[in-house]
Chain A
Amino acid sequence: MDYKEFERLLKVCRLRLGEDEKEKMKKDIDEILSYFNEIDKVKGDAEPAYQPIDLPEQLREDSVIPFEDVDAILSNTKTYRFYVIGPKI
């Protein structure tokens, strides 16, 4: 992976790293990606397995299940009246 691509990824990932951290991570990532080439040795002619076991499709009614303890959910956030406060967009 070239350095420009690595910098682009950090930006996309919203991660900020110090110069030493960057250098180490870049080196580790190159080593790991190079190892991932192992998969080139195997044929990829099967259907992709999105799940490891074939599970039956299970659908449920599209209905509202009330959650009683709303205060407990909001206790994990900063709130104004009954609004959750978030950053500006």
Chain B
Amino acid sequence: MTGIKEFIMKNPDGKYYKKLTEELARLNSELNAFNNINFSVSSGYPLSVKDNICVKGVETTASSGVLKGYKPPFNATAVERLLGKGFGFIGKTNMDEFGFGSFGLNSANPSRNPFDKERVAGGSSSGAAIAASIIENHIALAESTGGSIAAPASFCGVVGLTPTYGVVSRYGLIDYGNSLDKIGLIGRRAQDIKYAFDIIRGSDRYDATCIDMPKGSETQNPIRKLIVLENLLEHVEENVRDSFENTISKLSGLGFEIENKKAEELESSIAVYYIIAMAEASTNLAKYTGFKYGNSLGDFSKDYNEFFTEARDKFGEEAKRRIVLGTYIRSASVRERYYYKALQIRRRIGQRLSGMAKDGGIILPTMPMLPPKLSEAKELSPLQSYMVDMLTVPANLTGLPHISFPTDYKNGLPVGTQVIGAPYEEYRLLDLAETWEKGFRYRFAYNLGSL
């Protein structure tokens, strides 16, 4: 297995990329990892980009019919930085429409898990995680609002880093929830993610919420203590809980101190998160009016309201639901009751969680279940689907960095564990994952792009 530096040293020729993209196209017809593949890539370390992150001149739709045909005239800052450091863009990855989903099903072409094609890949960065799982040398640029990096990384058996809110520029990201969105990375090895994270992080004049990490963030002491939040484990399926307990024993054997704690405040996280996320999403989706971004209706004889209504027919079911709920939550009559209250509770949860994370990494299973079958996931009500995010939402709601990495296999399916750090502790989390990788061999169903 080669790392990024070794790959660059070997300098593969055009034949390598031709073979890789052709094999990808074949497998993509089964897994739906990519919305489009760049067959003209001819150099660089393979980089895929989630389809809600802009790549200049390449159709970028966030898997929504509303954006069909939209070709951004610019690169997102994270893309620009990676391409400037010799990465080679191989394609846009599939996702739940605008990031609305935890299974990768809210797309015209639902994603499938490389370990079992009858099962979901997780979402919303479904394609990014599948790409990392099937391509040996590759980094995926992904994005998380409520768990969209950790969830698919866990289901597809790869490593996903969700950085601290504000550490990676959001310029060129198609917004879902502005106070929640984080651009991050998915790959096969913590060291590859570290290499790419070094490049994408840091302030950007195009994003006023983006900052440099404090000096010394790269060289903090390793994490020694891990805190298990017992009360969040109550709703985790038994096979995943058994697996998690086994992982905790292994980590204890590696010298980590383990402490059990309870945090009742976190139990309202799902409600708080969805209230804020829907309020923000409903405003962000108002800009798709049918004449500015790609999908143009063309019949300008209609008045604005008719035109706007017709343009919005192209939203999927979940997007429409979030528009209605988000608009309601922001209504003058209930704004205090839902939106402001949720923002107040977010502060309490953030204080509690970051206070604990300063003492040690918070460790939890990433997902409460093994990847379900597509048919099973489709049967869930919207609320039941939201509840699946119960373990990924707390860190996302409060902007804390977290990493998910494979720690076990059950019934041939990967099980992921997440560790949450205090703000700007990305390097400590990556170091911890590297320590784990020294003693645990990850499995993959495919190895496209081997050298």
Q: Chain A: residues with CB nearer than 8 A to chain B?
A: 1, 6, 9-10, 12-17, 21, 25, 28-29, 31-33, 35-39, 41-53, 55-56, 58-60, 67, 69, 72-73, 75-78, 84-89
The minimal Cβ–Cβ distance linking A80 to chain B, given in whole angstroms, is 10
User: Do B209 and A55 touch across chains, with their CB atoms under 8 A apart?
Assistant: yes
Which B residues are CB-close (under 8 A) to A38? 267-268, 270-271
B166 near A53 with CB under 8 A, answer: yes
| B57–A48 touching, CB < 8 Å | no
A39:B302 contact, CB within 8 angstroms? no
Known contacts A28-B382, A51-B209, A78-B298, A39 near B342 by CB under 8 Å: yes
Q: B296 touches which one: A25, A36, A59, A78 (CB < 8 A)?
A: A78
Least CB distance, A69 to chain B, in whole angstroms: 5
Are the CB atoms of B268 and A32 closer together than 8 Å? Answer: no
Q: Is the interface of A mostly helix, strand, loop or mixed?
A: loop
Chain A proximity mask over B379-414: 1 for CB below 8 Å, otherwise 0: 001110010000000000111100000000000000
On whether the beta carbons of B165 and A52 are closer than 8 Å, the reply is yes
Interface size on B, residues (CB 8 A): 76
Verify B275–A47 contact, CB threshold 8 A: no
Q: CB-nearest residue of chain B relative to A26?
A: B324
Looking across the interface, which residue of chain A has its beta carbon closest to that of B382? A28
A-chain residues with CB within 8 Å of residue B275 when the two chains form the complex: 36, 39
Q: Report yes or no: A29 in contact with B347, Cβ–Cβ below 8 A.
A: no
Candidates A13, A42, A53, A75; contact of B345 at CB < 8 Å = A42
Could you say which of A15, A51, A76, A87 contacts B294, with CB atoms under 8 Å apart?
A76
Q: Is the CB of B268 within 8 A of A89?
A: no
B303 within 8 A of A: yes
A1 and B291 within 8 A (CB): no
Instruction: Report the minimal beta-carbon distance from B94 to chain A, rounded to whole angstroms.
Output: 22
Say which residue of B73, B274, B296, B397 sits within 8 Å of A52 (CB atoms).
B397
